[in-house]
């Protein structure tokens, strides 16, 4: 395990790129990729991720253990000298119905939605409790340079979600709007000012204006992984991490055992096409694939940094923020 100091330095190297700006790309020379429709050049992150493949050598460079109850982690965001981590605390698990009732396939359960605010050393500064009634499940989150966007949904598909905007400086919480359906992640598209969310299992996407008016929806025609946590990538893209639980063979655990397949995908928010998609098979202390839940990436030239927090608070060594790095061909 690396020291906290080394972990903090690793975050600092790529933090500017995570904030959604282009300072890192500018410092290493402008990116060469262009997009159509008059869009400006891609940033370092989109360009570097375009060179990632199955042979990319990712190395875990550090881990940071969080020493407070973290429950079931969902999304992560880096904002200046703060780290935001969304999580759901389950008080009463949902229970599947034999047949759907009132349009739902399971009971609502009970829980508490948390948005943990930490310093860069992982020390808890504040626990923001988000949600209302049956909507207690925070999902994947993103930082737009000013605000952290957090969806809090019912813990069941085809339900409802509140989208919150949290000022990263003063931590004021704004209830932005409420929408029907379970949305497990949200990003702000800086080219339009619109929000984009993904439903349960990321089987569908929706786009809204700032007041919550739905502008369009589209199906996710990719079935590689279910996206768990996404981030906006200039210009007009989003990068998502996720996981799929696949059945094992009888010799590898039997018909009830599953295997976690992790992956990362870069999606164009105009065409809705997947531009690049790669598996990610690095494992946590508790044995989960790293992209199981919170994931964020940044680039410094052709060096990529990824942060992930796949383990729940009661698993393995508790929740650890893992840092991975890889260098790709320019």
CATH classification at residue 19: 2.120.10
Q: What is the pLDDT of residues 61-81, one digit of tens each?
A: 999 999 999 999 999 999 999
Tell me, yes or no, if the pTM score tops 0.75.
yes
Report pLDDT for 117. 98
Ranges in the chain, pLDDT < 50: 1-6, 8-40
Report pLDDT for 27. 27
Report pLDDT for 253. 76
The dihedrals phi and psi of 193, each to the nearest 5 degrees, come to 80, 10
Report pLDDT for 140. 98
Rounded to whole angstroms, what are the CA distances from 123 to 35, 80, 154, 281? 41, 15, 29, 29
Report pLDDT for 41. 53
In sequence order, the 6+-apart residues with CB closer than 8 A to the CB of 57 are: 326, 327
Q: What is the pLDDT of residues 279-325, one digit of tens each?
A: 999 999 999 999 999 999 999 999 999 999 999 999 999 999 999 99
Q: Which residues pair with 138 in a beta bridge?
A: 152
Classify each residue of 190-209 as buried b or exposed e, where b means 16 or more C-beta atoms within 10 Å of its C-beta.
bbeebbbbbbbbbeebbbbe
Report pLDDT for 21. 38
Report pLDDT for 18. 39
Report pLDDT for 42. 64
Nearest to 318 by CA among 326, 327, 306, 309: 309
Average pLDDT across the chain, whole number = 89
Domain limits at 102? 4-327
Structural domains of the chain, count = 1
Contact 158, 200 (CB under 8 A): yes
DSSP state of 35: -
The dihedrals phi and psi of 36, each to the nearest 5 degrees, come to -80, 175
How far apart are the C-alpha atoms of 5 and 81, rounded to whole Å? 14
């Amino acid at each position: 395990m690396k020291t906290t100091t080394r972990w903090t330095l690793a975050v600092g190297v790529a933090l500017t790129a995570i904030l959604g700006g282009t300072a890192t790309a500018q410092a290493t020379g402008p990116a060469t990729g262009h997009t159509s429709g008059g869009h400006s050049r891609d940033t370092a992150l989109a360009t570097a991720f375009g060179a990632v493949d199955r042979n990319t050598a990712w190395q875990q460079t550090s881990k940071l253990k969080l020493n407070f109850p973290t429950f079931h982690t969902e999304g992560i965001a880096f904002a200046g000298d703060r780290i935001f981590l969304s999580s759901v605390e389950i008080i009463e698990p949902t229970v599947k119905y034999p047949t759907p009732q009132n349009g739902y396939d399971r009971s609502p359960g009970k829980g508490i939605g948390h948005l943990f605010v930490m310093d860069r050393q992982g020390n808890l500064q504040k626990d923001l409790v988000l949600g209302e009634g049956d909507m207690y499940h925070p999902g994947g989150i993103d930082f737009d340079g000013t605000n952290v966007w957090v969806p809090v949904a019912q813990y069941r598909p085809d339900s409802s979600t509140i989208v919150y905007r949290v000022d990263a400086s003063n931590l004021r919480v704004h209830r932005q709007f409420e929408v029907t359906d379970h949305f497990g992640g949200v990003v702000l598209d800086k080219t339009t000012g619109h929000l984009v969310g993904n439903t349960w299992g990321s089987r569908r996407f929706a786009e809204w204006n700032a007041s919550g008016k739905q502008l369009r929806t589209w199906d996710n025609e990719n079935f590689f992984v279910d996206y768990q946590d996404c981030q906006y990538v200039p210009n007009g893209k989003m990068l998502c991490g996720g996981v799929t639980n696949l059945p094992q063979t009888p010799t590898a655990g039997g018909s009830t055992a599953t295997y976690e397949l992790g992956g990362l995908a870069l999606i164009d928010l105009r065409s809705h096409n997947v531009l690049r998609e790669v598996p990610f098979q690095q494992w946590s202390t508790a044995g989960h694939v790293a992209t199981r839940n919170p994931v964020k990436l940044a680039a410094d030239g052709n060096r990529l940094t990824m942060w992930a927090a796949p383990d729940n608070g009661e698993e393995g060594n508790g929740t650890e923020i893992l840092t991975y790095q890889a260098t790709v061909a320019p």
